[in-house]
């Protein structure tokens, strides 16, 4: 399609986005082709996420704060960055988005200035686009534009790309303004019809878990019964539909919250949380992807990740654009 492209991956986490860029994996019986890409740098500030990354990729990531990285003289075609989203998430009541140290798109912009890649790919929660009437989104977009890029942005739902999860994410794609293509259209849907969305039952092999630790206690169930009727509680998932968005606090999922859970037996009032492998499948990680550390570490990494299949479709679309620039 195009010659081998070199990628700098920032805020790489456990490697969900990077796996999508590289391709060469199988998910739900479908093979996602290997892409002509080499990751020449990957880094994250989270040691545990980097441990997982390095369990799965031959090109090892490093643990480093983006403020300390120097890319002067580095040659790369793509800069990828899912800058931390907690301060822009609509479900985070403690977010402080106005603090400039929380706006790491400025640092991503500095890396872009140093490298001058052909393409920028930035990922964040939908809330980054909507918060304060797009104020923070516009700051990031202007920074990339001032660096010499034409920026196209899209809200993509994972369900439209063959993933059993209603997960909406902002994808910003910048193309260097000296290239012949000036705008990038939205990556085409794989599935448009809601009736054809991948259902949760495709990734849940059994409602009954092998380990009883995944069940919520009787005390937790009783707490749900006492909750006010207008409060959204015990959000059990329809196995014939995609799952609601899973988050980074899966290890601390409460049945007395908006977190998606599974109803195992209605009559016996038995509810449970997802296992780590189920959560990974919901996020479109292949079965052979290994998560280092404890279950809590794995849940956090999975919830923070970019679904690999979603990023695979994004990069395939970008590759067709770059082919026009040859």
Whole-Å CA distances, 172 to 20, 38, 235, 318, 324: 16, 21, 31, 12, 19
pLDDT digits (tens, 9 = 90+) for 288-310: 999 999 999 999 999 999 999 99
Can you give the pTM of this predicted structure?
Answer: 0.92
Give CA–CA dist 76/30, Å, rounded: 30
Where in the chain is CATH 3.40.50.150? 5-194+307-324
Whole-Å CA distances, 168 to 76, 126, 161, 162, 202: 29, 6, 11, 13, 20
Burial class (CB in 10 A: 0-12, 13-18, 19+), 277: middle
Per-residue pLDDT of the chain (326 residues; tens, 9 = 90+): 567 999 999 999 999 999 999 999 999 999 999 999 999 999 999 999 999 999 999 878 999 999 999 999 999 999 999 988 554 444 444 444 444 546 789 999 999 999 999 999 999 999 888 888 889 899 999 999 999 999 999 999 999 999 999 999 999 999 999 999 999 999 999 999 999 999 999 999 999 998 999 999 998 888 887 766 666 567 899 999 999 999 888 777 778 777 899 999 999 999 999 999 999 999 999 999 999 999 999 999 999 999 999 999 999 999 999 998 87
Give CA–CA dist 106/102, Å, rounded: 10
- For the chain, the farthest-separated pair of C-alpha atoms sits apart, in whole angstroms, at 65
Contact 160, 171 (CB under 8 A): no
- CATH superfamily, with its number, for domain 5-194+307-324: Vaccinia Virus protein VP39 (3.40.50.150)
Phi-psi region of 221 (alpha: psi -120 to 50; beta: other; left: phi over 0): alpha
Instruction: Determine phi and psi for 137, rounding to 5 degrees.
Output: -60, -45
- The alpha carbon of 293 is separated from its chain's Cα centroid by a whole number of angstroms, namely 20
**Per-residue pLDDT, 225:** 78
Q: Helix-strand-coil percent breakdown of the chain, rounded to 5?
A: 35, 20, 45
**Per-residue pLDDT, 255:** 81
């Amino acid at each position: 399609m195009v010659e081998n492209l070199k990628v700098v991956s920032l805020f790489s986490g456990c490697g969900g986005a990077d796996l999508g860029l590289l391709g060469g994996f199988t998910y739900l019986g479908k093979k996602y082709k290997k892409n002509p890409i080499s990751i020449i740098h990957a880094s994250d500030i989270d040691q545990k996420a980097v441990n997982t990354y390095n369990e799965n990729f031959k090109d090892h990531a490093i643990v480093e704060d983006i403020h300390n990285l120097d890319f002067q003289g580095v040659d790369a075609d793509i800069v990828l960055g899912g800058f931390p989203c907690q301060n822009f998430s609509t479900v985070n009541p403690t977010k402080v988005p106005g603090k400039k140290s929380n706006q790491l798109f400025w640092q991503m912009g500095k890396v872009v200035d140093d490298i001058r890649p052909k393409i920028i790919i930035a990922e964040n929660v939908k809330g980054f686009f909507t918060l304060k009437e797009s104020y923070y989104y516009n700051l990031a977009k202007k920074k990339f534009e001032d660096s010499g890029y034409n920026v196209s942005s899209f809200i993509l739902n994972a369900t439209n790309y063959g993933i059993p999860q209603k997960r909406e994410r902002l994808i910003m794609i910048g193309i260097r303004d000296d290239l012949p293509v000036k705008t990038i259209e939205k990556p085409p849907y794989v599935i448009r019809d809601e009736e054809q969305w991948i259902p949760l039952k495709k990734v849940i092999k059994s409602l009954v878990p092998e380990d009883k630790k995944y069940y919520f206690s009787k005390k937790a169930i009783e707490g749900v019964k006492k909750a006010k009727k207008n409060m959204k509680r015990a959000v059990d998932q329809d196995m014939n539909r995609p799952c609601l968005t899973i988050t980074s606090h899966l290890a601390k999922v409460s049945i007395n919250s908006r977190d998606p859970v599974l109803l195992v037996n209605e009559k016996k009032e038995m509810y449970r949380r997802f296992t780590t492998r189920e959560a990974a499948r919901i996020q479109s990680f292949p079965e052979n992807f290994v998560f280092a550390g404890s279950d809590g570490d794995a849940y956090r990494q999975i919830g923070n990740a970019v679904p690999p299949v979603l990023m695979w479709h994004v990069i395939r679309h970008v590759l067709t654009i770059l082919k026009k620039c040859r």
